[in-house]
A and B are shown apart, each in its own frame.
Chain A
């Protein structure tokens, strides 16, 4: 079991609901302060997005944030370098697209991730059929590779995807891309229960979870935690400072704690 999974399971087994915010790396000069702010607001883990030129699973907010970061010259190696010495006290995950790893060399990236304290990765364009080479590289340093379960992942495939997932299982809340939605999709309410029926792993639901109210709804429906990206990144794009990030994460925290 990866360190990430051990840690998240322990929190879950203590009865804590998990809050996992997403920030875009390189979006501004002091972007690592957002990581620290999220931790201060009560996050249990944090996803660090690394910008890619062709983010095919992301909606307009994450796309924009990625464009801003790319224009500032953000690159995988540089971002990981900047993370060195940043100790938020919670697990860090990198979320990006596979080409950045592929280009840099899988073994090299796995080693660097471990070196800077990143415990897991989410690579949405690397489904279970294709994960083999990366999983082999990640095994040595113990980097967890989180898999996505979608509303149309069913039957035997659902069992296989959940079994392959490391760290936690990422339940995709809706059939679509990242982005805020006014109303929580029915599929977001349903998905944790479907995953839990076939797996005892920690299940967090993201994509389309946009507000403290929606986060509370998702955990009330049985999820162990929530991933919140666009709603937070939009606040940063709108000029929000680290305090605003801390405040929003704290709102999510109290919403899931009292759900």
Chain B
């Protein structure tokens, strides 16, 4: 059986996952599960999903052999270029799939949470493409930090709702999206942004991101005539990593998820039940969820998708962390060696490769998912480097 196969009938990956939502939401998540299973088994649905990714979102994205970076690092590095997908990150793969699901469910509106605004922008994009309404919840603090993305969402026709409760960041935006969803179930689909939340979301989002890993594994085999020994991706909720790992879970590649030091849910978290799932969360001794701290807003989440908690528990994937300073340095290294400015999120994966380069043996190859482009982060990077913009 495949390591990253179907969760069990209770939506569990091992002991993680499940469906911890209030009763008013239960019928909706059960309906979503049924609809997804039917759709994913329907060749027409798959064909349309693939067609939109190809014609609209720019798939397949290239697998790029980063030879100058390889020289610097002293190991063979390949980049899966999700930064070249439409809207600038892998998030588009998921929202195209979920917008198609929304249409199949007869819903006319998408609601979503966003941290950095990348998933919000992607959702607003899909809503525009499908002629759906769109409402995006975003913590007040993130609204301030990511003004550019707020404007992009509005330009795309979405309503951005600032969330003033709790820590006023991503986790609170998730809470507010769930609160709102209950009151508009008939018209609205909750388009969750990562492999998290109640079953079936972690499974749905992984399946819609699987295209990243499947493309990469075929492209790598074509170009190098083998499988990579290492596969590396950054982990916030974990969608780009889950999609990437899905293409390699049954190979012998070592799978590495890279968390931010200040948001290492697997590295430093404790098992808990939050946002509808059993997973690992940063929390205090009483079970109150703590805030994550990271220079990258997209990784600023105190939890992680349940399948990653499972892959860690069974030892199939390892999760390690890097700090903000290493991340900023990795941005600079990639920019100057390859002419690619990565998103701060993606730079976590690169920072790990650079720091751990002594672990790679002669003749091994490292495949890194470059989950997004760094244009959105220019201001943050400038500020952190002491430069103004």
Give residues in A with beta carbon < 8 Å to B.
52-60, 63, 67, 70, 75-77, 98-104, 124-127, 129-130, 147-154, 157, 161, 172, 175-177
Contacts and interface: CB of A to CB of B under 8 A. Distances in A.
6 contacts: A56-B175, A57-B179, A75-B286, A153-B24, A161-B23, A176-B24
Nearest to A51: B288
Closest 5 CB pairs between A and B? A103-B287, A150-B24, A75-B286, A148-B23, A176-B183
Interface in B276-306: 276, 281, 283, 285-289
B60 interface: no
Contacts of B166: 53-54, 63, 67
B178 A56 contact: yes
A250 to B, nearest CB: 31
A56 B23 contact: no
Contacts of A104: 286-287
Interface residues of B, number: 36
Contacts of A63: 165-166
Interface of B: 10, 18-24, 26-28, 165-167, 171-172, 175, 178-179, 182-183, 185, 270-276, 281, 283, 285-289
Nearest to A103: B287
B275 A54 contact: yes
B19 A177 contact: no
Contact of A103 (B22, B165, B171, B272): B272
A176 B23 contact: no
B283 A99 contact: yes
Contact of A152 (B10, B20, B24): B24
A47 to B, nearest CB: 16
Contacts of A147: 23
Given A54-B275, A54-B289, A99-B287, A127 B182 contact: no
B331 to A, nearest CB: 32
Given A76-B286, A130-B18, A172-B23, 8 more contacts: A52-B287, A54-B275, A56-B179, A63-B165, A99-B287, A127-B20, A150-B26, A175-B183
B107 to A, nearest CB: 15
B50 to A, nearest CB: 33
A59 B178 CA distance: 11
Given A130-B18, A153-B23, A99 B183 contact: no
Contacts of A125: 20-22, 273, 276
Contact of B10 (A52, A129, A157): A129
B23 A54 contact: no
B23 A129 contact: no
Contacts of A148: 22-24
B287 A126 contact: no
Contacts of A150: 22-24, 26
A151 B272 contact: no
B101 to A, nearest CB: 19
